[in-house]
Chain A
């Protein structure tokens, strides 16, 4: 199964010789070829720039997003976060660590057959708000925050 899809990928890469040439020339890194990885949002250094790249317009503060995370994280390298959205028609859940060098930690698309829930573990450089932005089916955005205090940062290693 893995080999088959890999073969298919190689074949299509061969067909797209222009793309392959661009990659070989170092113009495109492999990550650029992935259409669904939002490079602009991931490289944004502020929350507002990241939200702009994610096309999030005026998210409304809500109590319908439950964020479970420790109040005080002893180890910033591994901070467990659980998010449950109670907003009807939740399509995706985005997570931003406001004070990380690159705040946008990722987003999770639950619109195709998953419940509006996600659990993850993140690195946090320092104490910060964890901001969650939910996109709903009606095109509206909702947001909630949870403050996490970090005693040992997770980015310097």
Chain B
């Protein structure tokens, strides 16, 4: 299981300004290790964010996203106490879900 995401969400009115840091190597399949072997492709493919269980932001991404990816997005219609859940799935089928509760301010 991968390390937890770091999710920061700041409420500005009814918009949640979200920033998420995921722990992932995001291997491109082009890099070689010290022994000269190609490191196989290993990268996050899909990301879904849900607000109180309802999908609000979805992404499909490639290996071109940097290692330990950081994404920012803004969710409408959010309020304090709402639960924001983010899930990623990588090309090996590994997944990770983390949740934060939005707080005022």
Q: Nearest CB to that of B78 among chain A residues? A: A113
Q: Is the interface of B mostly helix, strand, loop or mixed?
A: strand
A117 to chain B, nearest CB (A): 5
Which of A37, A118, A120 lies at the interface centre, i.e. has the most chain B CB atoms within 10 A of its CB?
Answer: A120
A26 to chain B, nearest CB (A): 14
Interface segment, one of A58-66, A103-111, A138-146: A103-111
In the bound complex, residues from chain B placing their C-beta under 8 Å from that of A101 are: 30
Q: How far is the CA of A112 from the CA of B69 in the complex (A)?
A: 23
A:101-157 near B, CB below 8 Å: 101-102, 104-110, 112-115, 117-124, 154-157
In the bound complex, residues from chain A placing their C-beta under 8 Å from that of B63 are: 102, 123
- The number of residues on chain B lying at the interface, defined by a beta carbon within 8 Å of a beta carbon of chain A, is 42
B13 to chain A, nearest CB (A): 12
Q: Nearest CB to that of B44 among chain A residues? A: A106
B72 at the interface (CB under 8 A from A): yes
> Per-residue CB proximity of A69-80 to B under 8 Å, as 1/0?
000000001110
In the bound complex, residues from chain B placing their C-beta under 8 Å from that of A78 are: 66-67
> Per-residue CB proximity of A6-27 to B under 8 Å, as 1/0?
1000000000000000000000
A interface bracket (residues with beta carbon within 8 Å of B) = 35 or more
A100 at the interface (CB under 8 A from B): yes
Contact with A102, one of B19, B62, B67 (Cβ below 8 angstroms): B62
Which of A42, A106, A115, A121 lies at the interface centre, i.e. has the most chain B CB atoms within 10 A of its CB?
Answer: A106
Which of B30, B70, B73 lies at the interface centre, i.e. has the most chain A CB atoms within 10 A of its CB?
Answer: B73
B:66-84 near A, CB below 8 Å: 66-67, 69-77
In the bound complex, residues from chain A placing their C-beta under 8 Å from that of B51 are: 113
B:2-18 near A, CB below 8 Å: 15
Find out whether the CB atom of B64 lies under 8 angstroms from the CB atom of A30: no
Q: Give 10 new A-B contacts, CB below 8 A, not counting A122-B66, A155-B31.
A: A31-B45, A34-B45, A37-B45, A107-B59, A108-B57, A109-B59, A113-B51, A120-B72, A121-B69, A123-B26
Binding site for B on A (CB under 8 A): 1-2, 5-6, 29-31, 34, 36-38, 42, 77-79, 82, 97, 100-102, 104-110, 112-115, 117-124, 154-157
